[in-house]
Amino acid sequence: MAIKHMVASVLAAAGLHGPAAAADAPDDLIDRGAYLARIMLCGDCHSPRGPEGEIDETRALGGASIGFEVPGLGVFFPPNLTPDAETGLGSWSDAEILTALRTGERPDGRLLAPIMPWQFFSVLNEADGTALVAYLRSLPSVSHRVPVPTGAGERPLGPYLAVIAPE
């Protein structure tokens, strides 16, 4: 829990507190966050895809249209990262977003799907974490609810990619 308070303090010092903060964020901070989201490949998983598999740039980071099967665990659909209050991160605080990125824990206490590489993002420094959150807050809201995760052996509620090991 200490990390949540530390992140909140750093964000407050940077002037970022919640969803409205993106309007006040400097362009260079948002640009840095966009760069980080690009090299972290956020859009590859968290964006809807068109009929040919291309990322739908009009709904970038608006939640996946294709899920991922983790053998033995189930199928997970990467969620909407836009500021939409109903289907995205709009109700999450900046500190909650950073905590999820760094620890793999959502505000409701649930752990992120194992396919989410939060362990790699756990070393984000404060400046980069602040920039990434500012970028996410600057995105246009996309109303897109992704299918709920399903457990192993359950029928997924949408298309998904599966890894099948050779026998």
> pLDDT by residue (tens digit) across 78-102?
999 999 999 999 999 999 999 999 9
- How far apart are the C-alpha atoms of 29 and 33, rounded to whole Å? 6
166 vs 43, more confident: 43
The tens digit of pLDDT for each residue in 32-54 reads 999 999 999 999 999 999 888 89
pLDDT, residue 11, reads 40
State percent of the chain over pLDDT 70: 86
Q: Is residue 2 pLDDT above 80, yes or no? A: no
Other residues' Cβ atoms within 10 Å of the Cβ of residue 68: 20
| Cβ neighbours for 4, distance < 8 A, ≥ 6 positions apart | 95, 96, 99
Category of 119 on φ-ψ map: left (φ > 0), alpha (ψ -120 to 50) or beta: alpha
Q: Is residue 148 pLDDT above 70, yes or no? A: yes
pLDDT, residue 10, reads 38
| Cβ neighbours for 80, distance < 8 A, ≥ 6 positions apart | 46, 61, 62, 63, 87, 88, 89, 142, 144, 145, 146
Per-residue pLDDT band at 23 (split at 50, 70, 90): low
Look up the pTM and report it. Answer: 0.83
pLDDT, residue 164, reads 81
pLDDT, residue 133, reads 98
**Reduced to 3 states, what is the DSSP secondary structure of residue 141?**
coil
- How far apart are the C-alpha atoms of 27 and 58, rounded to whole Å? 21
Dihedral over alpha carbons 109, 36, 160, 140 (to 10 degrees): 80
The tens digit of pLDDT for each residue in 51-72 reads 888 999 999 999 999 999 998 9
pLDDT, residue 151, reads 94
